[in-house]
Amino acid sequence: MGVYLVPLAFFGFLALGMPVGIAIGVAGMIGIIDMGPKFMTMAPDRVFAGLDLFPFLAMPFFILAGEIMNRSGITAGLVKLADALVGWMRGGMAHSNMVASVMFAGITGSATADSAAFGNTLVPAMVKAGYTRPYACAVTAAGSIIGPTIPPSTLMIIYGSIMGVSIAGLFAAGILPGLMICAICMAVIALTAKRKKLPKGEGRPSFGAVISALREGFLAAMLPIFILGSILGGFATPTEAAAIAVAYALFVGGVIYRALSWRDLYEIGVRTTRITGVIFLIIASATILGWWMTFNRVPQAIAEGMLAISQNPDVVIGLIVLLLLIGLVMDINATLIILAPVLAPLTVKLGMDPVHAGIMIVLALNVSLMTPPVGACLFVLASVTGEKVEAITRELWPFILAEIGILLVVAFWADLTLFIPRLLGL
């Protein structure tokens, strides 16, 4: 009975507008009740066990570091540096948006943070320069998923923690796909620039202007280099690097730039707590639902069903990518926590490297962040800029198709994905 009731309850609650974390928890508890009274007494222990993972501490620290950098205005230096490098081309501000997204990705690891920050700054600047608002929002949405692809990435931390996969390896494997997304989006911009009559920059900047922009953005640019260097070099765990990143951001923003007030720190703390609380509620709730799924052998049934369709690894990988598109209608953190224990064993049967499988899963979920009907980045941009989601989506399709192409390359070309991890011995 519970096998049918739990999914009906979950999707029914979502349709009624219940927050996804609560919907997952209530559906999971319905399943636990169906399992029997003794399981009810074990449920609280399972909830706390699901959260009691040391690497999870890295998430609030990375979120806090990004909030500090954004609030203190330090990240504005990254935008000026990106504009100095590529802003001279036709569609220069769109190109700058992409390059700045790469730089910003190494600070927050969050697509929605990228969307909110650039929606408030770059989108109005692009509109003032002659871009349409829907196109400016589309470029920002397309670049936003670079955030959780290039490390640090909260999705990689969650996946590595619950599946026992090296987080440092996942971080290293995310670098090339993130840069490839930036490159393919810049190619889309360049190919459509004349047809869309995108504004052209004022000409190549002088060497002095580049040096000046580099000097202004140097301290902000050093943070992602410091984070990645300490983790990939083996000097710090992701959690330790995240804590040090917070101290660095506080020092730069508060002491060097003197741009942080006590009120700013309070608001930063409140915002970080809210974001972290939502993520941890989803993780705790998904732990219960995942427990019920394991008890009822749902992961095994899904794996057997996929293998019954085909034994060809390429076909099964394609089916996994399609299954991950559930992120189109569901929070990606919840999707990851629920589906990772289902899909990871299947990828092992196919002979995939755990890091390669993790990057494929994370990237597929990242793409769903900018796709309708419930792409989080779309709604963040619509809220910040006042633009309609439908108008943004119409301009976004070329970028979506290009990024799906990168997803397929990552899924079917393991050597490319694993090049940097193998180079670093991870």
Distance CA 66, CA 60 (A): 10
R_g (Cα) of the chain, nearest Å:
22
Output the average pLDDT for the chain: 80
Judge contact between 367 and 146, C-beta under 8 A. Answer: no
And the tokens for 192? 């459509």
Task: Tell me the range of 192-206, 211-225, 356-370 where mean pLDDT is highest.
Answer: 356-370
For residues 30-69, one letter each, b for 16 or more C-beta atoms within 10 angstroms of the residue's C-beta and e for the rest, the string is bbbebbeeebeeebeebbeebeeeebbbbbbbbbbbbbbb
Judge contact between 158 and 336, C-beta under 8 A. Answer: yes
Smallest CA-to-CA distance from 198 within 119, 138, 121, 144 is with: 138
* Cβ atoms < 10 Å from Cβ of 194: 11
pLDDT digits (tens, 9 = 90+) for 248-270: 888 888 888 788 888 888 988 88
Return the DSSP state at 165. -
Strands (E), 273-419: none
Segment 13-23 shows an average pLDDT of 76
And the tokens for 40? 């009810």
Residue 84 has pLDDT above 80, yes or no: no
Which residue is associated with the tokens 């997204």?
101
Cβ-proximal residues to 346 (8 Å cutoff; 6+ apart), any chain? 302, 303, 306, 307, 316, 320
Q: Where are the alpha helices (DSSP H) in 121-206?
A: 122-129, 133-144, 154-163, 167-192
Judge contact between 6 and 27, C-beta under 8 A. Answer: yes
Residue 218 has pLDDT above 80, yes or no: no
Which residue is associated with the tokens 């309609």?
388
Q: Which of 1-5, 68-72, 347-351 has the lowest mean pLDDT?
A: 1-5
Judge contact between 95 and 186, C-beta under 8 A. Answer: yes
Distance CA 324, CA 360 (A): 10
Amino acid letter for position 296:
N
Per-domain boundaries in the chain: 36-424
Q: In terms of pLDDT, which residue wins out, 373 or 275?
A: 275
Distance CA 30, CA 186 (A): 48
pLDDT digits (tens, 9 = 90+) for 153-188: 888 888 888 888 888 899 899 999 999 999 999 999
Judge contact between 198 and 90, C-beta under 8 A. Answer: yes
And the tokens for 367? 């793409």
Residue 241 Cα distances to 53, 309, 396, angstroms? 16, 44, 35
Judge contact between 290 and 341, C-beta under 8 A. Answer: yes
